[in-house]
Amino acid sequence: DRLARRGLVRRLRSETDRRTVLVEMTELGQDLTWEAYGPLVRAGQPALEALSAEQLTFLTEHLQRITALTDEHRERLAKQGVREF
């Protein structure tokens, strides 16, 4: 609701299933996202372009493992009643 009120996303009804609501980022949302993350993308791109296909595969696999571990930990905390911060 807050993102929609700020004009960052818009809700769209699915044309095939009226129970489904799709959320789409607005142009303003895209602009603000690029403003925030564009410098990171520009700074990181040369480093990634310097990696071989094998190195990129290795990096991707390890980032996926780290993400999975983080998700599992977050779920454990939620079950213990620890709120996200």
Contacts of 73 (CB under 8 A, 6+ apart): none
Beta strands in the chain (DSSP E): 9-13, 21-25
Are both 26 and 67 inside the same structural domain? no
Are both 21 and 56 inside the same structural domain? no
Host domain of residue 83: 51-85
Are both 36 and 9 inside the same structural domain? yes
Could you tell me which of 16, 44, 11, 42 has the C-alpha nearest to residue 29? 11
Are both 39 and 14 inside the same structural domain? yes
Are both 44 and 57 inside the same structural domain? no
What is the rounded CA–CA span in Å between residue 21 and residue 10?
Answer: 10
Number of domains in the chain: 2
This prediction has a pTM of 0.58
Tens of pLDDT, residues 4-60: 999 999 999 988 998 999 999 999 999 999 999 999 999 999 999 999 999 999 999
Are both 1 and 24 inside the same structural domain? yes
